[in-house]
A and B are shown apart, each in its own frame.
Chain A
Amino acid sequence: MIALDRARKVFNQGKPNEFVALHETSLEIEADRLTVIRGPSGSGKTTLLSLIGCMARPTSGRIHVLGREITSLPERFLTEIRRKTFGFIFQQFNLIPGLTALENVILPAYPTGEKRSSLENRAAGLFELFDLKSKTRSRVEWLSGGEAQRVTIARALINDPAVVIADEPTAHLDSKLSREFMDTMGRLRDGGRTVLIASHDPLVYEHPAVERVFHIRDGRIDGDGR
């Protein structure tokens, strides 16, 4: 489904602070599975996710998404693929303050030119699903940690993506919420989506819903379990 072919990422190439975030990596993420990339901080997990999620280009090597090579695509097409194929859940939530939960959720779809009312309907469905109905018109600053987390999940799903990517999603959650989060991810996978999570939290990679774990250390994939 998503394949990396000797993908490599170097930052500040040619400058004194040059740094190889990801050494030549080849791996395959299978469709409709819940995969975890496990490793300590600074291991290159985030870089790997960026490359997979079309958020950055590899310095060398190739990346295939749904059978299509995306490495050499112009930015415009890349963004379109990113918007249609991937939904992101960030470590720091990255919700826009001053906007309501609803507005944050439909934000990714603003540039598509879809009618606002239809966007709000779609969002309403997601709010139902994640038990956020009462918080639709609340400003995101007033949400609890768990509620904000659920809003970011809803936002990731607004464009009905095939792949959900989460970067250290449980970093700011307690164990109960972490478990709930992983349950939700499992349900998404059951609903026919591919889920990819980067985390060094045992509550994540030891969750029963997880099907594949890749270990990453110092920019290299170590081995993979399961």
Chain B
Amino acid sequence: MTRRTRFFGLFMLSLLALFGLMAAHAALSVRGAGPALREEALLVRRLELTDLCLSTEANYTRHLSLADFHTAFQDHPLALEHFPSGALLGPSPHLRRSHGQLD
């Protein structure tokens, strides 16, 4: 085996090893995150929260599941999306189901 091949072999092996380390780290972190997640879930229950706080730009990006069809256009029918996060966080699937039973 030439030096080249050996070096490449080592390179790939170390990448694979790091990959393994990454998987191990992920598994351990997930297990370790148990208490924090439980606490967070408890907080959601206690405060009766319905959404994650991902964006505080607009009310329809803050409470994604509670937003309705019209919120984004409340100022004017032609008020097109002007919040950056609104472009990223689209409407919920239950909104797109028009004339649903509960509408």
Contact = CB atoms under 8 A, between A and B. Distances in A.
Prevailing SS type, chain B contact patch: loop
B1 interface: yes
A116 interface: yes
B8 to A, nearest CB: 15
Contacts of A103: 2
Interface residues of B, number: 2
Nearest to A116: B1
A116 B3 CA distance: 13
Contacts of A116: 1-2
Contacts of B1: 116
Interface string B1-24: 110000000000000000000000
Interface in A53-76: none
B90 to A, nearest CB: 53
Interface in B4-57: none
A116 B2 CA distance: 9
Nearest to A103: B2
A71 B1 CA distance: 38
A103 B1 CA distance: 12
B53 to A, nearest CB: 57
Interface in A86-142: 103, 116
Contacts of B2: 103, 116
A212 B94 CA distance: 91
B5 to A, nearest CB: 9
A167 to B, nearest CB: 30
B103 to A, nearest CB: 69
A116 B1 CA distance: 7
A103 B2 CA distance: 10
B9 to A, nearest CB: 14
B7 to A, nearest CB: 15
A116 B5 CA distance: 12
Nearest to A117: B1
B82 to A, nearest CB: 57
Interface in B63-99: none
A157 to B, nearest CB: 22
A66 to B, nearest CB: 35
A145 B1 CA distance: 29
Nearest to B1: A116
Interface of B: 1-2
3 contacts: A103-B2, A116-B1, A116-B2
Identify the 3 closest CB pairs spanning chains A and B, nearest first. Answer: A116-B1, A116-B2, A103-B2
